[in-house]
Amino acid sequence: MRILGIDPALRVTGYGAIERRGRGVALIEAGIVAPATGAALERRLAELHKGICALLAQTRPDVVVIEELYTTYKNPMTAILMGHARGVMCLASAQAGVPVQTLGHAHVKRALVGSGSATKDQVNAMVTRLLNLRVAPKPNDVSDALAIALAYLNMSEHVLAH
Amino acid sequence: MRILGIDPALRVTGYGAIERRGRGVALIEAGIVAPATGAALERRLAELHKGICALLAQTRPDVVVIEELYTTYKNPMTAILMGHARGVMCLASAQAGVPVQTLGHAHVKRALVGSGSATKDQVNAMVTRLLNLRVAPKPNDVSDALAIALAYLNMSEHVLAH
């Protein structure tokens, strides 16, 4: 099973595709999609949609896992704008025929580190170790996206094993 | 100038296209886009996107005016989900090369009735009168979408006149 994890945002969206290989996990591809800032919202959403469509065609995942948005932004309009971006990502997945799964931040941390209140450094270290990387993925958006994919892999195999 | 007004929602999205004709305003087309409920969010967004794309191709507006979302829902997740839907509408507009404008609820009421706290009935009556209709448009989503388009027409002509 190939999993594409996405840490959704309007500015810098991290992504990471992974795949189970024997007893290890292989990193297929990871990076960011970052539409030019300054343009009108609809133009930025169009650029984001194009980027995610290209990513789906390139990585051909079996499932896309897009992190759930917080409802706790100081400015509620931020959450709504993030919703615009996440909606466009869900659409791209549907158009590519790939099912979308949602994981909350705390679930990702719990699945990877064992605690919903794990620090960013702990999550980072676990992503680096599980993917057998020499250095932690940068920027944080990429590490977060890989954490989402790894958490989903962990949870789905845990479910399958029982 | 042809204006397409949209009252965005995940379930029932109202739309209304209008055009200035001499001293009056002509109704071009109005209705709703309502994706089947029960399907996964990404499938509903795909249906919504398809509907809005078809609508843009059919009505060929010069501008799309999509009402701003509230930030005052009891459940903040509702606003985020509405953001998913609105994002897909903005995307469809960008893909059709049509600029998107945003109007808040109170601005629409003020432009049409003269008060930001006007009732739904007052807005409804003004829409019916301005478009010279025999009965008020139903459901309310359609009347709201036409109100958005009429408010934008009013505001842009007011600006042009000064």
* Per-residue pLDDT tens over the stretch A87-96: 999 999 999 9
pLDDT band at residue A159, thresholds of 50, 70 and 90?
low
Distances (CA, A) of A20 to A2, A26, A44, A60, A153: 7, 6, 34, 14, 8
Distance of CA B150 to the CA centre of its chain: 10
Interface size A-B, in CB pairs within 8 Å, comes to 93
**Of A77, A84, A91, which has the smallest distance from its Cβ to B71's Cβ?**
A77
Output the DSSP codes for A48-79: HHHHHHHHHHHH--SEEEEEPPPS--SSHHHH
Q: Does B79 touch chain A (CB under 8 A)?
A: yes
Distance CA A30, CA A14 (A): 8
Q: Does A104 touch chain B (CB under 8 A)?
A: no
Non-local (6+) Cβ contacts of A29 within 8 A are: A15, A16, A17, A58, A59
Mean pLDDT of A138-147: 95
Selected catalytic residue, list B62, B67, B68, B121: B67
Which pLDDT score, from 0 to 100, does residue A74 have?
A: 79
Taking 80 as the threshold, does the pLDDT of residue B131 lie above it?
Answer: yes
Q: Of all residues in chain A, what percent carry a pLDDT higher than 70?
A: 98
Phi, psi angles (nearest 5°) of residue B137: -65, 140
Q: What residue ranges do the domains of chain A occupy?
A: 2-161
Question: Across all residues in chain A, what is the average pLDDT?
Answer: 94
Residue B84 and residue A79: Cβ atoms within 8 Å? no
Contact of A160 with A152, CB cutoff 8 Å: no
Record the pTM.
Answer: 0.94
The full length of chain B comes to 162
Mean pLDDT of A9-31: 95
Residue A83 and residue B88: Cβ atoms within 8 Å? no
pLDDT band at residue A157, thresholds of 50, 70 and 90?
confident
pLDDT in tens, B3-56: 999 999 999 999 999 999 988 899 999 999 999 999 999 999 999 999 999 999
Is B68 catalytic? The answer is no
pLDDT in tens, B114-123: 999 999 999 9
Q: Of all residues in chain A, what percent carry a pLDDT higher than 90?
A: 87
Residue B27 burial (CB count, 10 A) = 18
Which pLDDT score, from 0 to 100, does residue B162 have?
A: 47
Residue with token string 């064992």: A114
Which pLDDT score, from 0 to 100, does residue B159 have?
A: 60
**Which fold is adopted by the domain B2-161?**
Nucleotidyltransferase; domain 5 (3.30.420)
Is B67 catalytic? The answer is yes
User: How do the residues of chain B divide into helix, strand and coil, expressed in percent and rounded to 5?
Assistant: 50, 20, 30
